[in-house]
Structure 1
Amino acid sequence: MSSTVFLKNKESKVAIEKGELISFQKNNQEYIHQKGSKGWRNSDDEMFPVIGPTSKNNFRVHTKNGDAILDQHGLLREMDYSLISSDESSAKFIKKYKKNTAIINSKFPVKSTEEKLFWPFDFTFEKNFTLKNDVLTIDFIIESEKGMPFMLGYHPAFLLSNTGTETLISNDTEITLADVYKAGSNACPVLNADKIILKNSDKNDIEITTKNFDNFMLWTEVENMLCIEPITQYTSYTDQKFSEENMRLSEGKNTFSVTIKVL
């Protein structure tokens, strides 16, 4: 049985592999960075329950339930999604975590000193896709005990023309790929924004709108792809300590959404 789920309607097709968005096409034109191409090994991913490099905090995150050990962007990406349900227009996936369960860190030992990661809270994390009227919506539903600290980031990569001529528009401000390159590994922040438009040079533009994230960051090191990442918090240019005082606190159930529309 194939591990890939397909959504489709008259003009658009979506492919999802084990919870990862690997393709979004409209009129047979691809808009998602393809795995195996230069730039990044994935096509999308999530950052949870922290965003950014934790090495400056000795990989520790302070919480009311004790210190956690987390690597860059948390531990969710080290876990596998389970498929809940799917049909021609939607697919639902989930990850479940039991507090203090050790998770093997794929960055160890080459890029990290921490072999295992853990988080001192139970949580479930749903990632639900819906394709309607050629618009793809991705909903995230996080359930945990009230007061659990967290950050959330979504990390999709979009296919570019390989010319370096694309630009982005947000809050009436133009951002060039040169601006993104300059930010480097810190990623370029776009703060207090819930919409961004990617102005493509070789195909239709893309509009990305969000709910409850409130910020974006942009990252790439190549001309053929760009990560446009909705985030709850931007940490790279701050001296922020990784502790719950600098994180959102769960309401018990928190929802976020990202909508991708070809213009």
Structure 2
Amino acid sequence: MTILTLPKQQVRIDQGELVGYRVYSQELIHQKGSPGWRNSDTEMFPIIGPTNEADFKVKTPKGMAVQDQHGLLRELEYQLLESTETKAVFEKRYKANTRIKNSKYPGKSAAPELFWPYDFSFVKSYYLKEDGLEIRFEIKGEEGMPFMLGYHPAFNLVTEQSIIKTQEEQISIPEVMAVGSRALQVPKESSIILNDQLELTIKTEGFEHFMLWTEVPNMVCIEPITFYPYAVEQANLDTGFLYLEGGTAKHFKVFIYPI
């Protein structure tokens, strides 16, 4: 367990996963074992969304890849590169076309193995600051590699009157639940506010949209995404790709500001 601390704030990270963020003794992150979801956070990479209707295949410039829902990154293990009292850096590396065992098979998937036809490295960094928590993502890989990125944190809710606010609207938790597994799209937003035990502001850099998901009233996932996958047929998921260009890394940021 990696722990970051500042006065009135504590962050707990278990092998790269944000499993706790306490502010003024209040836990903001959904706890494993509580109803709703078996994780606290994860990443969606190199694709977002389900693939079962496309026989788990995704088109790339190097041919078909086999991916399950939200990509194979979550099947890899993070390595801790650096840790201080207020900073932690983790990395995952992947070698092109390496077959990765799919943990969803056979119970929840018909694809026993997954692969991606590109090398990449994926760095996730945490920075605990006086005004909140900053999470950075750095993607390096081959020239022209396609990808999507989504960050999938789950926030703890303590009141049934929780409201999610954007510039245009206010969204209740029952409204999110009513959408079901597809997740509610919040397009063209780089900032969103969760009003619950605290007023929590989530701001992003590099992401295009958010989507919201929960099936229970005690948690909600507020997910920055580069592409909303349910906008297209699964066979056309490649239309939502970004691409690595010029041999440079792509950077994305998420800021969690508790007020």
Query: Shorter-chain TM-score category?
Result: over 0.9
In the TM superposition, 1:38-187 aligns within 5 A as: 38-161=35-158, 163-187=159-183
Name the counterpart of 2:232.
238
In the TM superposition, 1:178-257 aligns within 5 A as: 178-200=174-196, 203-239=197-233, 241-242=235-236, 244-251=238-245, 252-257=248-253
| Matched position secondary structure for 2:53 | helix
CA RMSD, Structure 1 to Structure 2 (Å): 1.1
Rounded to whole Å, the distance in 2 between the matches of 1:241 and 1:150 is 15
Structure 1 residues 118 and 242, CA, compared in 2 at 3 Å: closer, same or farther? farther
Residue 240 of structure 1 contacts residue 246 of structure 1 at CA under 8 Å; is this kept in 2? Answer: no
Rounded to whole Å, the distance in 1 between the matches of 2:240 and 2:193 is 29
Name the counterpart of 2:17.
20
Residue 169 of structure 1 contacts residue 196 of structure 1 at CA under 8 Å; is this kept in 2? Answer: yes
Q: Which runs of 4+ in 1 moved over 4 A?
A: none
- The code of the aligned residue for 2:67 comes to L
- The Cα offsets for residues 196-228 of structure 1, whole Å up to 9 and x where unpaired, read as 00011xx21100000011200000010111000
Residues matched between the structures, number: 257
Distance apart, 1:57 and its partner CA: 1.3
Residue 140 of structure 1 contacts residue 255 of structure 1 at CA under 8 Å; is this kept in 2? Answer: yes
Name the counterpart of 1:30.
27
- The code of the aligned residue for 2:229 comes to T
Distance apart, 1:65 and its partner CA: 1.1
- The Cα offsets for residues 77-126 of structure 1, whole Å up to 9 and x where unpaired, read as 00100000100010000000000000000110111111000000000000
Distance apart, 1:143 and its partner CA: 0.1
Distance apart, 1:237 and its partner CA: 3.9
Structure 1 residues 204 and 245, CA, compared in 2 at 3 Å: closer, same or farther? closer
Residue 146 of structure 2 contacts residue 243 of structure 2 at CA under 8 Å; is this kept in 1? Answer: yes
Deviates more, 1:229-238 or 1:36-45: 229-238
Residue 9 of structure 1 contacts residue 134 of structure 1 at CA under 8 Å; is this kept in 2? Answer: no
| Matched position secondary structure for 2:74 | helix
TM-score when normalising by structure 2: 0.96
Rounded to whole Å, the distance in 1 between the matches of 2:221 and 2:151 is 10
Rounded to whole Å, the distance in 1 between the matches of 2:162 and 2:239 is 38
Question: Gaps (5+ residues) in structure 2?
Answer: none
Distance apart, 1:240 and its partner CA: 5.3
Question: Gaps (5+ residues) in structure 1?
Answer: none
| Matched position secondary structure for 1:45 | strand
Rounded to whole Å, the distance in 2 between the matches of 1:22 and 1:69 is 29
- The code of the aligned residue for 1:259 comes to F
Distance apart, 1:246 and its partner CA: 3.1
Distance apart, 1:164 and its partner CA: 2.6
Residue 54 of structure 1 contacts residue 242 of structure 1 at CA under 8 Å; is this kept in 2? Answer: no
Residue 209 of structure 1 contacts residue 260 of structure 1 at CA under 8 Å; is this kept in 2? Answer: yes
Distance apart, 1:243 and its partner CA: 5.1
| Matched position secondary structure for 1:91 | strand
- The code of the aligned residue for 1:178 comes to P
